[in-house]
Amino acid sequence: MKFGHFDDARKEYVITRPDTPYPWINYLGNEDFFSLISNTSGGYCFYKDARMLRLTRYRYNNVPTDAGGRYFYINDGGTVWNPGWAPAKTQLDFYECRHGLGYSIFNAGKDGLQAIQTSFVPIGANCEVHRLTIKNTAVATKDFQVFSFVEFCLWNAYDDMTNFQRNFNIGEVEISGSAIYHKSEYRERRNHYAVFGVNAPIDGFDMDRESFLGLYNGFDRPDAVFSGKARNSVASGWAPVGSHCIHVTLAPGEEKSLIFVLGYCENPEDQKWESPNVINKAPAQKLLSAFATDAQVDAALDRLQAYWDGLLSNYHLESKDEKLNRMVNIWNQYQCMVTFNMSRSASYFESGIGRGMGFRDSAQDLLGFVHLIPSRARTRILDISATQMADGSAYHQYQPLTKRGNLEVGSGFNDDSLWLIFGVAAYIKETGDWSILQEQVPFENVEATAVSLLEHLKRSFDHVLNHLGPHKLPLIGRADWNDCLNLNCFSETPGESFQTCANFESGIAESVFIAGLFVAIGPAYAEIFRRSGFAEEAKRALREVRNMTAAILKDGWDGEWFLRAYDAFGDKIGSRECGEGKLFIEPQGFCVMAGVGVDTGLAESALDSVHKYLDTQYGIVLNWPSYTSYQLNLGEISSYPPGYKENGGIFCHNNPWISIAETVIGRGDQAFSVYRKTCPAYTEEISEIHRTEPYVYAQMIAGCDATRHGEAKNSWLTGTAAWSFYNVSQFILGIRPQFDGLEIDPCIPAAFGSFTVERRFRGSTYVIEVENPSGRQKGVRSITLDGTPVAGNILPVCGDGQRHAVHVCMG
């Protein structure tokens, strides 16, 4: 069942039913101010940090769902409705929500009134803009009221939801003209406030939640709205809100626009007040005046569209598969931007309260983002490397506001350090910027410890070599990529964190996955050092790669597939000898991506095992068989019911590893089959099963052992976005940046046909036409650049700012 459709020409997903299987959201903002907005105008916003500087309150996992947002109520002769349907949920005459790139448009009508709500975060501004355009489509004059509504968060979102004995006493607000100001805690340690204004005179206001809603009412039936009269309430303690009441009269055919701005403002410490206890409103007035007219709003929307058109022109595909085109050209790249901005911190599944930016997550997110804005990717690399520890290990996450590492989810995830190398290599291959390696970067943000980024990479590489186990495979530490495979945690206490409890450290538990990752990253690491003038380090690195490959083949192969790990007692995990959890996806993908066993047929055997035992109609499950009872020696993984999350769930993040591995051995049909099973555009027809948005990837889909096989969870903020784009753009379509140019190496289905990719790369644009007259899945017979044959399959760096025609013939 479908709940909408793609509008590729406008780069929008159009939702035509408000009762989607789960709230389908969009992200607004690309710089410092961010908003989440659902298809019913639910959601929240924040400045830089979703925990520390939250502007509006949201109620996660509440009943009814999606409670809290920016709401516009229309009271038309006693009939109350919202352009986004919720929260009043009045039956509308028509409804449509268009989620676009950085904006959402709600178009609804009731009883001869049409309301269009256009919501976005402008480029260069720290605010949401909501333009509400109302038109009278009836034959008689309409006299009605509009009530706006937001509920302010008391800044620290964690404290806001826990510290009620204090928070019910600190709410403070002001009103001046048509602007409402939230200034809780401004009198003490804060120099910032929120403003919620409208570009029209108002007929009333409310700033106290109880006065506006009524003590026992929900958002669906606020007293002020249904009575048709604002209370002019001023919050004092308790819960501050912002609501404007505006009376509107429209003749038949007449329309009126109201522009609401919800923004974040700061003052210098010595300029906080304009008079005793009255905040300095100058920055707010400047912000409101920037979006006071329709012309200003239209210009800001044009700038936003131009911004995204420019970014998406860096990689553009034309093929006969329209679903593939829309994912590659629009939605996958858009999700990569959002995921880069948010890491795993703020979504409808990640509250923005319990997690910061992930070290490993951010490094992997670079893979799908670096071609969009390389300068921001560079900054991100330096930020995450500055949280690294001197021994090469890493904080598992850091806070976006302070950019300092934290231990809320622990440390000691022994794959973390290698991802820094992976991300830096991707950045240099994309940009050719070798100067980044000489940047002086501290450890743990202590400036006195600063060394070159190149030295950080060496510490990362050596951290693995300094932590090898009995089989000369890397120690897993707290966990590796699978945070729920905790082989050194023996927890029998309900509620105890598997990631932070430290009741055991065996020095024995090893990870074959980290070994495969090490082998995959090693050649790029060696080449970086060779080109940086450290030939001996490059030779050493390649020697260690060979040693690790030998260790995998000796003690990491199980006969038909690669082992997953050895536990704290030296017993095998992911082996045919195991009763459950015989086969895991991670080492199959990464070991084959690294080339281990490719020349001997072991790689093909491993991937055949994946398809035989792990593959389902909705994607490849993480492990088989699922664990049916809690295994103390495995940690969190077996605490999940069979078929969910890491216990037999379809973890979409590492499905691309199998797809890439298939391209390594040249099986384009299988590579594309794996790709499309988790690709949202191909699951749109089963939205009632899949449930999450059909335009962005989810982290997890329930596996075949789950009751709800095929149901997705945790959409938007997932490494699946970057890995899927990396897979389809660089390995299936095969346009792959290398240190010396663009490698052309497609691996496509036999029936895929010809395609064209327009790719900006290091100052030039390459228009790459790929023909496949003989239906080959892999292999390039010839390449020409502007009509001149190219030796090999790497396009040289032209760097001249011009367009270049490339013709590729597979064969």
Q: Tell me the catalytic residues.
A: 483
**Rounded-to-integer distance, Cα 598 and Cα 661, Å:** 10
Asked if residues 350 and 717 have their Cβ atoms less than 8 Å apart, the reply is yes
CA angle 181-182-187, nearest 5°?
Answer: 110
Question: What letter represents residue 91's amino acid?
Answer: Q
**Rounded-to-integer distance, Cα 577 and Cα 768, Å:** 49
* Closest by CA position to 705, among listed 631, 622, 630, 636: 622
Count, residues in the chain: 811
How do beta strands 33-38 and 43-47 pair?
Answer: antiparallel
Give 413's DSSP letter.
B
Asked if residues 304 and 104 have their Cβ atoms less than 8 Å apart, the reply is no
Characterize 158-195 residue by residue with b for buried, 16 or more Cβ atoms within 10 angstroms of its Cβ, and e for exposed: ebbbeeeeebeebbbbbbeebbbbbbbbbeeeeebbbb
**Rounded-to-integer distance, Cα 522 and Cα 543, Å:** 10
**Rounded-to-integer distance, Cα 92 and Cα 130, Å:** 21
**Rounded-to-integer distance, Cα 98 and Cα 460, Å:** 45
Instruction: Compute CA distances 276 → 19, 207, 272, 280, 806, whole Å.
Output: 49, 21, 10, 10, 68
Phi then psi for residue 727, to 5 deg, are -65, -55
**Rounded-to-integer distance, Cα 726 and Cα 593, Å:** 13
* Closest by CA position to 518, among listed 560, 483, 476: 476
Q: How many CA atoms lie within 13 A of 769 on its CB side?
A: 10
Asked if residues 473 and 556 have their Cβ atoms less than 8 Å apart, the reply is yes
**Rounded-to-integer distance, Cα 685 and Cα 168, Å:** 47
* Closest by CA position to 263, among listed 388, 161, 128: 128
Question: What letter represents residue 780's amino acid?
Answer: V
Q: Which two tokens stand for residue 639?
A: 């605490």
How do beta strands 755-761 and 619-620 pair?
Answer: unpaired
Q: Which two tokens stand for residue 351?
A: 């509250």
Q: Which residues contact residue 707 at a Cβ distance below 8 angstroms, ignoring those fewer than 6 apart?
A: 643
**Rounded-to-integer distance, Cα 690 and Cα 708, Å:** 9
**Cis amide linkage into residue 222, ω under 30° from 0:** no
**Rounded-to-integer distance, Cα 242 and Cα 150, Å:** 5
Sheet bearing 565-566, strands edge to edge: 510-511, 565-566, 572-573
Characterize 441-474 residue by residue with b for buried, 16 or more Cβ atoms within 10 angstroms of its Cβ, and e for exposed: bbbebeeeeeeebbbbbbbbbebbbebbbebbbb
